[in-house]
Structure 1
Amino acid sequence: MNPVTLPDAEWFDLAPEGGGAPWRIFLARPPGEAPAAGFPALFMLDANAGFATFVEVLRRGAVRPAATGIGPAVLVGIGYREGEDARARRTFDYTTGPGAEAGRAGERPTGGRDAFLAFIEQVLKPHIAREVPLDPARQTLFGHSLAGWFTLDVMARDSAAFRSYVAVSPSLWWDEARLIEGLALPRVVPPRLSMMVGEWEQALAPWQAARPEAAEMAARRARRGMVARAQGFAARARDALGPGAEVQFEVLAGEDHASILPAAMARALRFALAGAPAGDAPE
């Protein structure tokens, strides 16, 4: 049996400065010569879940950029090696401390947010830039669920790290107060922010109502308030970031927390690539 492969895509493991557990890095390159300033790049968290899908969405859209709003870009995925406890590592990487439901999440370690961002900024970005020319002014961070919380936290507190931020179904309930506090911090350039959440993330979808765990699911969704919190945070971000910022918010009809990821990918790419400097839009 011949395995299916992604042309012009690869993976490798990259460790932080000073050693430690590496991350599994995925890289997909666009064809052709890079623009003078370098290619735009989107950095995807939790890349073990959906990197190949993201690559296909990007490449299919780039065939007709005038119709799709999606042009050539570099896609960088950050994930974990096979055999690792990815849930434990991501809980550590994406957080600054225990969340509001720490007891429910078990005893997984938290608090690795700063070290993870330092790895992205000091190790990963320079490494990728040596492999393919990147435009430092056209880089986007994409995160879903708890990675969406991390995305919003970086946007609020270290906004110069990326030009654009896409948070899909962000777990604001983890520590919403920290995110709100971060919005009040000063920044030189207002970031671009896109937030998306599924219609069925705060209530049961019709196909879920008969499941044995439906009552537990409904209680958890009501408690976390994914849709209302996301909408409220987007409104706060518009006010706090000022008129120079671009903030988009969308509820995706028919999607829940699991199904929203592929539905959000084309929108994320269109938003990220719309951040091109004047006169540099895809043809």
Structure 2
Amino acid sequence: MNTAASAEQKVDTTPDSDAVTLANTHEFTLLSTKTGHEYLIQVAVPDVPPPAEGYPVLYVLDGNSRLPLMLAARDTLTRRGESLPWMMVGVGYTDAERLAPKRRALDYTPPLLDARYAGQKNSRPAGGAEAFLDFIEQRLKPAVSERFAVNSAREALMGHSFGGLFTLYALRQRPDGFSDYIAVSPSLWWNFGDLLDGYCRTLKQAGEEGGSSTTTLPRVMIARGSEEGVRIPEGQPQGISTADYARESRQTDKADRLAERLQRCRPGWDARFTLFDGENHGSVMWPAARSALAFLGEGE
């Protein structure tokens, strides 16, 4: 699954830093010619030797904020005797302590659909998901595999909110890029639901022309909290009727419906939906962290 890209690999990285804040974690930065930005990469290695085929890898978006949570979940389950040899790679930003609102809005959102989205207000840069996906596939994965023993057949991607939107975008664009996709509270209101509405119609099957030769079908976990509020895009997009806009803006079950559509149009995939009762858009990450690891463990 690791894709070589000579142009990307010519970009120098800064030396590995010994000053880390998380146990058994290695830290370095990567500059991407695709996005023009530098990224903070934190790699948390399990306390056990790598399997013969290498460590399975979980790439965690919003790494500055989410990697510590995922490590806490992994370590807690490990102490209970459950085998979780997953190496975790936090994909974050060098200029952020936790979240980087403008940077993530650009990297995690699919290109704007001008005809339908022109009427919506957006004060942050957006639409850079394809370039960011190129960075992950062509720059980040090779950099990680050069440094660590990695099982390229078991690489997972996980994101929350805009990160969940990007995870599903990556699944639609390159379903053979990862073995597992975990989208928590994905922002499916983006582009007025275009990713949801056209998913099965435009989704490429893993192994089709333009993809890799692997026959492994992706596993997909989509989740949200029961108390998540309605996210209404700012302004009615051009080309959308007032009735359609009002109906779509009220619906909070887009994640549920997308999971159902995947189960219908890709029956060979392991696609499932999880609802966390009593959780809102922020708190949902606590139970989702443990469920995500359990989901990954089932695929071993």
> How far apart in 1 are the matches of 2:138 and 2:123?
29
> Structure 1 length normalisation: TM-score?
0.81
RMSD of aligned alpha carbons: 2.8
- Provide structure 1 residue ranges, at least 5 long, that are not aligned to the other structure: 204-221, 277-283
Report if aligned partners of 2:34, 2:135 keep a CA contact under 8 Å in 1.
no
Residue aligned with 2:287, SS: helix
Residue matched to 1:97: 111
**Does structure 1 residue 80 correspond to structure 2 residue 57?**
no
1:264 Cα offset (Å): 0.5
Residue aligned with 1:239, SS: helix
Equivalent of residue 237 in structure 1, options 250, 254, 262: 262
- Provide structure 2 residue ranges, at least 5 long, that are not aligned to the other structure: 1-18, 208-215, 231-246
1:95 Cα offset (Å): 1.7
Residue matched to 2:287: 263
1:226 Cα offset (Å): 6.4
Q: Which amino acid aligns with 1:178?
A: L
Equivalent residues, number? 255
> Structure 2 length normalisation: TM-score?
0.76
Residue aligned with 2:112, SS: coil
Deviations 1:210-252 (A, max 9, x none): xxxxxxxxxxxx964564111111100101112x211111110
Residue aligned with 2:27, SS: strand
Residue matched to 2:178: 162
Residue matched to 1:228: 253
Report if aligned partners of 1:166, 1:268 keep a CA contact under 8 Å in 2.
yes
Q: Which amino acid aligns with 2:280?
A: D
> How far apart in 2 are the matches of 1:138 and 1:57?
19
Report if aligned partners of 2:175, 2:205 keep a CA contact under 8 Å in 1.
no
Q: Which amino acid aligns with 2:225?
A: G
Q: Which amino acid aligns with 2:222?
A: M
Residue matched to 1:181: 198
Deviations 1:142-201 (A, max 9, x none): 010011111111112211110010000001110322344343333334311101100101
1:118 Cα offset (Å): 0.9
> How far apart in 2 are the matches of 1:168 and 1:103?
28
Residue aligned with 2:157, SS: strand
Report if aligned partners of 1:28, 1:76 keep a CA contact under 8 Å in 2.
yes
Residue matched to 1:190: 217
- Name whichever structure is richer in helix by fraction: 1
Residue aligned with 1:262, SS: helix
Residue matched to 2:52: 36
The 1:18–1:79 alpha-carbon spacing in structure 2 relative to 1, beyond 3 Å, is closer
1:17 Cα offset (Å): 3.9
Residue matched to 1:219: none
> How far apart in 1 are the matches of 2:40 and 2:250?
32
Deviations 1:117-141 (A, max 9, x none): 1111111111111221111111110
Residue aligned with 2:64, SS: coil
Report if aligned partners of 1:23, 1:79 keep a CA contact under 8 Å in 2.
yes
